[in-house]
Amino acid sequence: MIREKKRNLQKEKDKESDKEHELVRARVREKERLERQERQERQERQEKQERQERQEIQERQERQERQERQEKEKEREKEKEREKDKDKLEKDKEREKQHDDQIDTEMTTDQEDVVTVKHDENGVSGGPEPMDISTSSTFQACEIPSSDVTILEGHTSEVCACAWSPAGSLLASGSGDSTARIWTIADGTCRSSVQNGPSNVLVLKHVKGRTNEKSKDVTTLDWNVLEQVEPQWMLGDGTLLATGSYDGQARIWSTNELLPLPFLSVTRRFDSLGIEVMKIDGRIGLSTDKPGGGELRSTLSKHKGPIFSLKWNRKGDYLLTGSCDKTAIVWDVKTEEWKQQFEFHAGPTLDVDWRNNVSFATSSTDNMIYVCKIGENRPIKTFSGHQGEVNCVKWDPTGQLLASCSDDITAKIWSIKQEKYLHDLREHAKYAFANINELFCRRYILSDGVPLVQGTNNPNQPLVLAR
């Protein structure tokens, strides 16, 4: 009995021991499983990190290679640009040298700004003479019969200015209606009639659609008409028109069909007789409804204010502009770049006029007149004497005398050889504006029998021609 109890007790102990061993083995197995799982996860994390690192390295390499390719491409582009700039610089230097040589030649010819006039024993002139200015003559008003009047109708606002072509067959007029008009006067004479049809006038519109837009009023324009020998840089057989406007830009237009063929044979441009069509806008833009009437060749931009005056030089290779920004600029038309800017005036530059191909005069609201020369940084001559704004200047054909008119109600004649004016003309009762253009042109215009023209500032009055 006792032996039986001992065996049962031993069996229970063995069972308890087996359970404990089984628990220990189970814990060991669980621990081993957890360790394996942890090792596996750690290995996966490590592999993932290695993959990411490899990918980052590869991406960095690709970025670096791409940057290197881009830098090489940029370097090649820069090299190309440097080559282009080098070629352009060499061409500019060559072109500048050619212009400098040309200017030196002209300066030598025009040495010390004196025009030498020789006469032989028979009185044959070797060049134009300075004009004799007579202040004793008086002009009386005369009444023109209506039979000798031609009325040109078409402008819808005030006519600001007008001028004859050298041949006397064309009349240009500028208006506040945003247009300039070129009128054809067949035989250069006036008859009692009214002309307003499209057959005898070419309308140059400065704005599409409506007119009378003041922002499009033209301030100034100047023709460069074909001469017997065409400049090398002029393409085709067109006539060039330069215009200036209130936006400070000058534009050059090719007008192949703008003028009739007889006019193309004229050897001087409109400006030779003082043609200037004025507008109150600084953007000089022209367009026409006539096919092939005008093509914009270039736009010259540097002025910071409205352009009040512009003129071609005699050779037609330089364009001179005067602006409200107090400066005058000489433009090289061939390169379409400015050659020199002259900043002498203390007020807006109102007018400019070439003396020859390299020197010119400027006038301003500061009451001063300066004579300037290309290549010089200071005026070669200063004229002081007006007591008001100097509105207009004009050289005589020899370049020895300069006429000016001013708000001080006077017109003055200056000599390039003297500091003070030679003549002080005080017959005006009101401001003297632009009649100075007639002063040196009057004897040529009237002797050729070209009709006089009267402008108007009344928008309700047409343009009137009188014989």
Maximum Cα–Cα distance across the chain: 181
Quick one: which of 443, 357, 400, 362 has its CA closest to 102? 357
SS3 341: strand
- Tell me the two tokens of residue 140: 């009386």
| Residue 459 maps to a domain | no
Say how many residues make up the chain.
Answer: 467
| Residue 280 maps to a domain | yes
Residue-level pLDDT at 216: 58
| Residue 151 maps to a domain | no
Residue-level pLDDT at 251: 79
| DSSP 8-state secondary structure symbol assigned to residue 450 | P
- Tell me the two tokens of residue 198: 């499209």
Averaged pLDDT of the chain? 72
| Residue 70 maps to a domain | no
Side-chain half-sphere CA neighbours of 29 within 13 A: 6
Q: Name the residue range of residue 300's domain.
A: 212-444
| Residue 397 maps to a domain | yes
| Residue 108 maps to a domain | no
Total structural domains in the chain?
A: 1
Q: How far is CA 205 from CA 208, 220, 293, in A?
A: 7, 15, 11
C-alpha–C-alpha distance, residues 255 and 439, integer Å: 30
- Please report, for the domain that includes residue 440, its CATH number: 2.130.10.10
CA 69 to chain centre: 42
| Residue 65 maps to a domain | no
Q: Looking at the DSSP assignment, which residues form a beta bridge with residue 373?
A: 359
Quick one: which of 295, 300, 331, 327 has its CA closest to 313? 331
| DSSP 8-state secondary structure symbol assigned to residue 423 | E
Residue at 18: amino acid letter: D
Residue-level pLDDT at 210: 52
Residue at 32: amino acid letter: E
Per-residue confidence in pLDDT tens, the chain, 467 aa:
788 888 888 888 888 888 888 899 899 999 999 999 999 999 999 999 999 999 999 999 999 999 999 999 999 999 998 998 888 888 877 877 776 676 666 555 555 444 433 333 334 344 444 555 555 555 555 677 877 788 888 877 777 666 666 566 667 676 777 666 767 776 544 444 445 544 466 666 655 555 555 555 667 777 775 443 333 333 333 467 777 777 788 878 775 544 433 332 222 333 333 333 333 333 333 333 343 345 678 889 999 998 889 898 988 889 999 999 999 999 999 899 999 999 999 999 999 999 999 999 999 999 999 999 999 999 999 999 999 999 999 999 999 999 999 999 999 999 998 888 999 888 665 555 554 444 443 333 333 333 333 443 444 445 444 44
CA 263 to chain centre: 27
| Residue 432 maps to a domain | yes
Residue-level pLDDT at 144: 74
Cα Rg of the chain, angstroms: 43
- Tell me the two tokens of residue 318: 């330089």
C-alpha–C-alpha distance, residues 316 and 119, integer Å: 29
Quick one: which of 316, 305, 343 has its CA closest to 219? 305
